[in-house]
Amino acid sequence: MSLKSHPRYIKRLIGHHQEKQLFEDSFFNNTLQHCWLLEGPSGIGKASFAYCAARAIFSLNLEPNRDLLLFDDNESTKEVNHLNFSYNENNLIHNRISENTHSDLKIIEQIQEEKSTQIKEIIPVDKVREIESFFSKTSGEGGWRIAIIDSLDNLNKHGSNALLKILEEPPKKCLIFLISHSKSNVLDTIRSRSRILKFSELNHENTKLVIEESSIIENEQDLAKINILAGGSPGKAIILFNNNGLEIYDKIIAVFNQMPKMDISVVEPLLKVISDKKNLLGLKIISILMTIYLNRAYKRSLKLVKINISDDERISQDNFLKFFNIADIPTLWENIYTNINLSLNFNLDKKQAMINLIETVKKFNKNYRLQ
């Protein structure tokens, strides 16, 4: 993720109106729980929500008597006692949050490995324990202290237990936002001590708005393509675009268009792209895009939803579906996903990962199984 696409730089929160209202009502009705679990798919705005809420709450510290507005959506009238989730470049608090220099905000997220460009998958337990020390100190600005953990999916059991200890004895005027992409990764004891806000994917229009406001895609055609692949997750769109996602997806389309041929020469163009030293997430991007391709082919084959699809992808999917039973597609996806994750976890050679992918696809080819 590029620095400027980090959620703390978000200018405004797009969508998620119900979640906004629930949080605001709780805040002003004095029913605010100290821990909020923001739950939903990755990249849809949960962390953005947390940073917007932090900006609004910290702004109350400076102007306690001012009626601040909630979620500035260009409405002509607003009720009083609302929080302003919009970014103001002239507000020093907002700028300090963007630069991660606000003394009353503690951010716990994945860190870069020493002497490496790689990001550690697991957040160290010591980082989680820093919240306890942070909350034990007096607020630097006389108001709230806020911690954001992004995400619970990156905590091991030691990190989760350290967090649980903090939640058992919450100090006054302390607020924790927990980001979770998967319900299964959250301890029941953490869930029971949290107010849960469930987030859903954005609609097509709002996804496009978020991507546009990130200012990373200038070409309108690329914007339209990446919005289709995003599936309601602007965060996913940004990651894909920054890692040659459009080019890789075109090559995945080409791979399945060449079936029944399936050998190393077929995936060589894919291998070339992910072997680029600049593309640190190559295999992970292939995993994401394979999931998207198979999911779209599956839904289209069952006519579950209307799919916005290019001619090249339609031809490729039609060819792919000639060689696979529809009922086998979910299992094929699961096997591809598992094999790529094994390659990532054990740092296997990328060429070997592509060979494993070929063999996996071959096993599910209904014609191949009859040979």
pLDDT digits (tens, 9 = 90+) for 52-96: 999 999 998 665 444 443 344 444 334 457 888 999 988 999 999
Domain boundary among 163, 198, 233: 198
Distances (CA, A) of 243 to 2, 192, 207, 269, 278: 11, 38, 19, 15, 8
At residue 371 the predicted structure's pLDDT band, cuts being 50, 70 and 90, is very low
Residue 128, domain extent: 3-198
Q: Are residues 168 and 25 in the same domain?
A: yes
Q: Are residues 142 and 254 in the same domain?
A: no
We report the CATH number of the domain holding residue 78 as: 3.40.50.300
Q: Taking 50 as the threshold, does the pLDDT of residue 253 lie above it?
A: yes
Angle at 13 between CA 7 and CA 15, to 5 degrees: 125
Q: Are residues 134 and 265 in the same domain?
A: no
Return d(Cα 251, Cα 267) in angstroms, integer. Answer: 8
Q: Are residues 113 and 52 in the same domain?
A: yes
Look at 116 and 329; give whichever has higher pLDDT.
329
**Whether 70 contacts 83, CB under 8 Å:** yes
221 assigned to some structural domain: no
Total H helices, total E strands in the chain? 16, 5
Distances (CA, A) of 215 to 53, 168, 327: 23, 42, 40
Return d(Cα 110, Cα 9) in angstroms, integer. Answer: 17
For 136-178, how does the pLDDT look when each residue is reduced to its tens digit (9 = 90+)? Answer: 999 988 899 999 999 999 999 999 999 999 999 889 999 999 9
213 assigned to some structural domain: no
Tokens coding 62: 């400076």
Mean per-residue pLDDT, 341-359: 86
209 assigned to some structural domain: no
89 assigned to some structural domain: yes
Q: Are residues 343 and 254 in the same domain?
A: yes
296 assigned to some structural domain: yes
Q: Are residues 131 and 257 in the same domain?
A: no
Domain boundary among 198, 227, 258: 198
Return d(Cα 264, Cα 72) in angstroms, integer. Answer: 53
Q: Are residues 66 and 172 in the same domain?
A: yes
Instruction: Of 110-124, 246-260, 353-367, give the lowest mean pLDDT range.
Output: 110-124
Tokens coding 206: 């709002």
Q: Are residues 180 and 266 in the same domain?
A: no
Q: Are residues 31 and 90 in the same domain?
A: yes
In the chain, the percentage of residues whose pLDDT exceeds 70 is: 89
Return d(Cα 320, Cα 360) in angstroms, integer. Answer: 14
Q: Are residues 122 and 20 in the same domain?
A: yes
For residue 149, what pLDDT is reported? Answer: 98
Q: Taking 90 as the threshold, does the pLDDT of residue 271 lie above it?
A: no
Ranges assigned E (strand) in 27-155: 35-39, 105-109, 145-150
Q: Are residues 62 and 180 in the same domain?
A: yes
Tokens coding 68: 């601040």
205 assigned to some structural domain: no
Residue 139 DSSP one-character state: P
Q: Are residues 323 and 266 in the same domain?
A: yes
**Structural domains in the chain (count):** 2
237 assigned to some structural domain: no
216 assigned to some structural domain: no
